[in-house]
């Protein structure tokens, strides 16, 4: 590809031509193509597309270790500002998000306002000990009533 002067553009120039800086948020918003999940998509030749935020990270900061991924701390998937990214594990990245599992993982109280202070045998699932005791008592009481009826 060539620029308006007819000169060949470098990959970085092509990349930057698809970025708009949002003065309010500081995000460098990708205006080019997007993946089905809303991340910027950048063609680097040879029928190869890469995620724009990953390409700019590697271009400016170096390679991304295989066990890490860039997390958008601004929560904007179209942002390619490396100052708005942090390399984290996939687990950390997911938990920082807004998916139901991530929101639930950040909860500290049950629906009745008690602390989620118990952990199930799987070592992952948290529960409220107060509500579990109430539920168990109620269950046992129903069982006794059914047995005498």
pLDDT by residue (tens digit) across 92-143?
A: 998 888 888 888 888 999 999 999 999 999 887 899 999 999 999 999 999 9
Cα–Cα nearest to 130, from 120, 140, 117: 117
Helices and strands, number each (H, E), in the chain: 5, 8
Is the pLDDT reported for residue 2 higher than 70?
A: no
Q: Classify each residue of 61-84 as buried b or exposed e, where b means 16 or more C-beta atoms within 10 Å of its C-beta.
A: eeeeeeeebbbbebebbbbbbbeb
Q: What angle do CA 7, 9, 14 make, to 5 degrees?
A: 145
What DSSP letter does each residue of 64-77 carry, written as one string? Answer: PPTT-EEEETT--T
Q: How large is the greatest C-alpha to C-alpha distance in the chain, in angstroms?
A: 92
Cα–Cα nearest to 41, from 6, 14, 7, 5: 14
The SS3 of residue 119 is: strand
pLDDT digits (tens, 9 = 90+) for 36-64: 999 999 998 877 899 999 999 999 999 99
Report field, pTM of the whole predicted structure over 0.75: no
């Amino acid at each position: 590809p060539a620029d308006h002067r007819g000169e060949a553009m470098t990959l970085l120039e092509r990349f930057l031509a698809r970025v708009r800086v949002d003065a309010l948020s500081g995000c460098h918003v990708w205006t080019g193509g997007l993946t089905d999940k809303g991340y910027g998509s950048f063609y680097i030749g040879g029928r190869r597309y890469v995620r724009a935020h990953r390409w700019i990270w590697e271009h400016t900061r170096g390679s991304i270790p295989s066990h890490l991924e860039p997390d958008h701390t601004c929560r904007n998937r179209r942002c390619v500002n490396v100052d708005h990214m942090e390399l984290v594990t996939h687990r950390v990245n997911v938990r920082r998000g807004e998916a139901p599992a991530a929101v639930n993982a950040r909860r500290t109280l049950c629906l009745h306002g008690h602390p989620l202070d118990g952990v199930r045998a799987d070592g992952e699932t948290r529960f409220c000990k107060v509500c579990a005791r109430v539920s168990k008592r109620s269950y046992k009481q129903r069982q006794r009533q059914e047995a005498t009826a």
